[in-house]
């Protein structure tokens, strides 16, 4: 059976997220805008269809947008509390809500294409539906209830864009009657469209968000028609109409032809549309584009074999900041400030991703743009500790700073970006944590009197087999600690020293953050963290837990001299009251004031900790929800009369809910 593929794309996504927060904005011309660097100019990112009707477009400034649509309501993308950088978390969690619904659909393969876009292979779901009834019965049912089953479906036959709404339905009924009766592929597309109507309706009911969809036999053509009848509608593209649709399809609007290849095709052959490309003799295509020719011949016929890759996570994680015009960075201090801020935020996202998706990035690409060009390099990402990222990026950037003056930066910086990629499943806590200790030990064994410490560079070799696991199966210490300022092994022989590690109990291997209350003063501070503090640690827990774990018991450890005078029970009460446990706690007045006064690095770590806790909680909730759902599904299938009943009920019960 030919595959049935759909692309679901949320309509003006950020705008809908804001409309849900401020329901009075539903149905109004509104846009979501983002403040540019420096906080003055602001450009349109997401625009409702009501505003688009006035001519408001993405990239317009507020002034331009207001000029074409004076009644335009504008919502701003919030900024991160610590810096002038967009905080997209509300859009990401809205996206999670949608993907939660999609992942629960039975018998589909789901590929997340972006924050608001997903490909679905619904072939199996269609097959199940097909087996439930005879083709004739399905067609009769679809034709009788077309308005109910296909409330927002179009057929891309080239005439569809001119149809009035009553003609739309007539066209579907004609297609069902003529094409679907004769050809099982057409019927499968109809069933696919019906299933997607249901999924879109579920998304709307549960989230209030509207979306559109394209349904075809592969990703390329599903994508081609997904936006054809936006918003809140969907389009089927039967293979016989691909040629017709191609007549008006610009080459660069086809998936994978939006970049250099599409441009090369239009430039080389002097053509514009896919229909033009179909007219180019095959030999010429073969001659000019030998490597891409086979794929090109396929898509020219509307064929494409690319599978839907079951994926819920982004392939890479990135952060980027533009410094346009007067905001270009022209001083060393400015560059250092932004590299530090961005690295902290990036490191936080990496930790979050590690907890939520249980994966570890292996590569770090750092890049920047100045007045002269774009520069980047990729290095192994050996640690998520932001100090490493900062050093790596700064030393790379410094080599391009041509300013004579010590404090200046030239050419000025226009953009700084970093992205993590090549994810490996799992967190591999032991390796990372152990590696950090091991480097210290190796360094000591090589240069025993070396006191100077410097942060480990990210692109330096990891000595991953340094300590045997029996050596390190120790009790976990529940303090908020970070291994930092790891001394640098001084020669490349370091990785040949793996099994010979002897850490002394007095070895300072990092620091921990302790909170204390002294004479009405609540404080958090850093104190050295010694090997003896962790010799009994148990490294069965994951990296994050060790890296940034806070536990009240260690907060009132006897070792903290400031806490000695406070009785244990009182300390415990203080800690549970003042120690933030999640991001919401950080908003609590008293804690907020205290956090504000912390040194920046400690502040960042407290935030890391809270973020990680939130992410954990979210994951736990999801798992629980999933389990409950699984249990209730099991229960309901147990009470049903059996598989036959389930199949025959398929259309009667589920489908009648459409509309
Ligand atoms: N986005 C962004 N910057 C861009 C493009 C998009 O921040 N240059 C954000 C805002 C969008 C969201 O991503 O709401 C999804 O982008 P889409 O391209 O899917 O566009 P919309 O969902 O806004 O509109 P449409 O209905 O056309 O898909």
For atom 23 of ligand 1, the residue with the nearest CA is 12
Say which DSSP state 39 is in: G
> Distance of CA 562 to CAs 81, 458, 527, 556, Å?
31, 36, 12, 9
CA 494 – CA 193 distance, rounded (Å): 60
Domain 251-308, CATH class in plain words: mainly alpha
Nearest Cα residue to 306 out of 7, 580, 649: 7
Residues 583-611: b if buried by 16+ CB within 10 A, e if exposed: bebbeeeebeebbeebeebbbbbbbbbbb
Ligand 1 binding pocket, CB closer than 6 Å: 9-14, 45-46, 115-116, 230-231
117-121 and 73-76 beta bridge pairing: unpaired
By the 8 A CB rule, do 313 and 112 touch? yes
CA 247 – CA 249 distance, rounded (Å): 6
Say which DSSP state 477 is in: P
CA 301 – CA 285 distance, rounded (Å): 14
Q: 3-class SS at 61?
A: strand
Domain 313-442+506-550, CATH class in plain words: alpha beta
pLDDT of amino acid 612: 66
By the 8 A CB rule, do 377 and 366 touch? yes
d(CA 387, ligand 1 centre) in Å = 33
Say which DSSP state 561 is in: G
CA 560 to chain centre: 40
What is the pTM assigned to this prediction? 0.60
d(CA 65, ligand 1 centre) in Å = 17
Nearest Cα residue to 215 out of 196, 232, 241: 196
Q: Which atom of ligand 1 is nearest to the CA of 47?
A: 23
**Best residue for ligand 1 mutational test, from 36, 88, 116 (most atoms within 8 Å of Cβ):** 116
d(CA 74, ligand 1 centre) in Å = 15
For residue 106, how many other CB atoms are within 10 A of its CB? Answer: 8
> Distance of CA 627 to CAs 313, 623, 631, Å?
21, 6, 6
d(CA 48, ligand 1 centre) in Å = 11
Q: Which atom of ligand 1 is nearest to the CA of 9?
A: 28
For atom 5 of ligand 1, the residue with the nearest CA is 45
CA angle 275/121/129 to nearest 5° reads 115
For atom 4 of ligand 1, the residue with the nearest CA is 45
- What angle do the packed helices 589-597 and 568-578 form, to 10 degrees? 90
CA 214 – CA 75 distance, rounded (Å): 29
d(CA 389, ligand 1 centre) in Å = 30
Per DSSP, the residues of 384-411 read: --HHHHHHHHHHHHHTT---SSTTEEEE
CA 349 – CA 611 distance, rounded (Å): 9
For atom 7 of ligand 1, the residue with the nearest CA is 45
d(CA 14, ligand 1 centre) in Å = 7
Q: 3-class SS at 526?
A: strand
d(CA 115, ligand 1 centre) in Å = 9
Q: Which atom of ligand 1 is nearest to the CA of 14?
A: 14
CA angle 537/539/544 to nearest 5° reads 105
For residue 89, how many other CB atoms are within 10 A of its CB? Answer: 14
Question: Per-domain residue ranges for the chain?
Answer: 5-9+91-250, 13-81, 251-308, 313-442+506-550, 567-657
pLDDT of amino acid 321: 87
Peptide bond into 411 cis (omega under 30): yes
513 strand-pairing partners: 480, 526
d(CA 331, ligand 1 centre) in Å = 34
CATH number of 13-81: 3.40.1170.60
d(CA 615, ligand 1 centre) in Å = 25
For atom 2 of ligand 1, the residue with the nearest CA is 45
User: pLDDT per residue over 111-147, tens digit each?
Assistant: 999 899 999 999 999 999 888 889 999 999 999 999 9
For atom 15 of ligand 1, the residue with the nearest CA is 13
**Best residue for ligand 1 mutational test, from 7, 13, 32, 225 (most atoms within 8 Å of Cβ):** 13
Q: Which two tokens stand for residue 653?
A: 């019960």
> Distance of CA 201 to CAs 102, 196, 645, 658, Å?
12, 8, 25, 7
**Best residue for ligand 1 mutational test, from 10, 46, 57 (most atoms within 8 Å of Cβ):** 46
Say which DSSP state 476 is in: P
CA 382 – CA 435 distance, rounded (Å): 9
Q: Which atom of ligand 1 is nearest to the CA of 17?
A: 14
442 Cβ contact list (under 8 Å, min separation 6): 463, 466, 489, 494, 497, 501
d(CA 13, ligand 1 centre) in Å = 6
d(CA 219, ligand 1 centre) in Å = 19
By the 8 A CB rule, do 29 and 56 touch? yes
Instruction: State the Rg of the chain over Cα.
Output: 29
Residues 230-246: b if buried by 16+ CB within 10 A, e if exposed: bbbbbbbbbbebbebbb
User: pLDDT per residue over 475-524, tens digit each?
Assistant: 222 223 333 332 333 333 333 322 223 445 555 544 445 555 555 555 55
CA 550 – CA 517 distance, rounded (Å): 16
d(CA 45, ligand 1 centre) in Å = 7
Tell me the average confidence (pLDDT) per consecutive run of 10 residues in the chain, 659 residues long.
Answer: 94 97 96 74 90 95 94 90 78 92 91 93 93 91 95 95 87 96 96 97 97 97 96 97 96 92 95 96 93 93 90 77 87 91 85 75 89 88 77 89 90 92 69 39 38 33 24 28 32 30 48 53 56 38 27 28 42 53 71 68 66 68 68 59 43 44
Q: How many residues does the chain have?
A: 659
For residue 185, how many other CB atoms are within 10 A of its CB? Answer: 17
pLDDT of amino acid 626: 66
CA 618 – CA 279 distance, rounded (Å): 54
- What angle do the packed helices 184-207 and 135-144 form, to 10 degrees? 50
Q: Which two tokens stand for residue 173?
A: 């009924």
By the 8 A CB rule, do 42 and 58 touch? no
* Torsions phi, psi for 155 (to 5 deg): -110, 120
CATH number of 5-9+91-250: 3.30.70.270
**Best residue for ligand 1 mutational test, from 8, 12, 52, 210 (most atoms within 8 Å of Cβ):** 12
* Torsions phi, psi for 517 (to 5 deg): -125, 125
CA 388 – CA 485 distance, rounded (Å): 9
CA 16 – CA 13 distance, rounded (Å): 5
pLDDT of amino acid 299: 94
For atom 6 of ligand 1, the residue with the nearest CA is 45
CA 103 – CA 199 distance, rounded (Å): 11
For atom 3 of ligand 1, the residue with the nearest CA is 45
d(CA 52, ligand 1 centre) in Å = 13
């Amino acid at each position: 059976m030919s595959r049935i593929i759909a692309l679901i794309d949320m309509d003006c996504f950020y705008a809908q997220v804001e409309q849900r927060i401020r329901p009075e904005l539903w149905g109004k011309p509104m846009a979501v805008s983002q403040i540019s660097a420096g906080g003055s100019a602001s450009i349109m990112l997401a625009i409702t269809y009501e505003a688009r009707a006035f001519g408001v477009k993405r990239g317009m400034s507020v002034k331009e947008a207001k000029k074409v649509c004076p009644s335009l309501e504008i919502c701003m993308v919030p900024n991160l509390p610590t810096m002038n950088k967009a905080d997209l978390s509300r859009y990401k969690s809205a996206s999670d809500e949608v993907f939660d619904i999609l992942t629960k659909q039975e018998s589909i393969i789901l590929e997340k294409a972006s924050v608001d876009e997903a490909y679905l292979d619904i072939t199996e779901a269609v097959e199940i539906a097909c087996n439930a009834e005879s083709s004739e019965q399905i067609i009769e049912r679809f034709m009788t209830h077309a308005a109910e089953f296909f409330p927002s479906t179009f057929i891309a036959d080239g005439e569809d864009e001119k149809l009035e709404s009553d003609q739309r339905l007539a066209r579907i009924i004609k297609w069902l009657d003529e094409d679907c009766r004769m050809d099982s592929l057409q019927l499968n597309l109809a069933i696919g469209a019906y299933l997607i109507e249901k999924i879109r309706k579920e998304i709307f009911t549960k989230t209030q968000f509207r979306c559109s969809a394209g349904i075809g036999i592969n990703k390329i053509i599903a994508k081609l028609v997904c936006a054809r009848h936006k918003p809140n509608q969907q389009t089927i593209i039967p293979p016989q109409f691909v040629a017709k649709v191609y007549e008006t399809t610009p080459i660069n609007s086809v998936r994978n032809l939006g970049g250099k290849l599409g441009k090369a095709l239009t430039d080389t052959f002097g053509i514009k549309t896919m229909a033009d490309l179909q007219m180019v003799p095959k030999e010429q295509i073969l001659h000019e584009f030998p490597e891409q020719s086979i794929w090109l011949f396929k898509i020219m016929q509307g064929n494409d074999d690319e599978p839907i890759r079951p994926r819920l996570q982004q392939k890479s994680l990135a952060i980027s900041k533009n410094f346009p015009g007067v905001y270009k960075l022209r001083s060393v201090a400015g560059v250092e400030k932004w590299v530090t801020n961005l690295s902290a935020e990036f490191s936080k996202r990496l930790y979050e991703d590690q907890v939520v998706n249980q994966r570890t990035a292996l590569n770090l690409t750092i890049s920047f743009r100045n007045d002269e060009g774009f520069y980047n390099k990729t290095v192994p990402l050996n640690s998520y500790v932001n100090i490493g990222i900062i050093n790596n990026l700064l030393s790379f950037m410094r080599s391009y700073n041509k300013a004579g003056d010590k404090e200046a930066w030239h050419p000025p910086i226009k953009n700084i970006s970093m992205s993590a990629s090549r994810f490996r499943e799992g967190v591999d806590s032991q390796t990372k944590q152990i590696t950090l200790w091991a480097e210290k030990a190796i360094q000591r064994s090589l240069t025993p009197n070396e006191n100077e410490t410097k942060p480990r560079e990210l692109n330096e070799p990891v000595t991953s087999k340094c300590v045997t696991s029996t050596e390190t199966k120790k009790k976990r210490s529940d303090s908020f600690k970070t291994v930092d300022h790891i001394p640098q092994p001084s020669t490349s022989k370091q990785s040949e020293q793996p099994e010979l590690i002897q850490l002394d109990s007095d070895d300072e291997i990092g620091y921990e953050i302790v909170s204390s209350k002294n004479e009405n003063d609540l404080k958090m501070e850093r104190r050295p963290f010694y090997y003896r503090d962790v010799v009994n640690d148990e490294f069965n827990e994951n990296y994050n837990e060790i890296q940034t774990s806070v536990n009240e018991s260690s907060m009132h450890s006897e070792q903290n001299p400031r806490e000695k005078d406070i009785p244990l029970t009182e300390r415990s009460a203080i800690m549970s009251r003042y120690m933030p446990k999640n991001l919401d706690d950080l908003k609590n007045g008293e804690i907020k004031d205290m956090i504000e006064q912390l040194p920046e690095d400690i502040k960042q770590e407290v935030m890391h900790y809270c973020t990680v806790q939130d992410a954990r909680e979210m994951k736990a909730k999801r798992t629980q929800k999933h389990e409950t759902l699984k249990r209730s599904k099991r229960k309901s299938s147990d009470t049903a009369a059996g598989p036959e009943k389930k199949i025959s009920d398929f259309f009667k019960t589920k489908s009648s809910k459409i509309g």
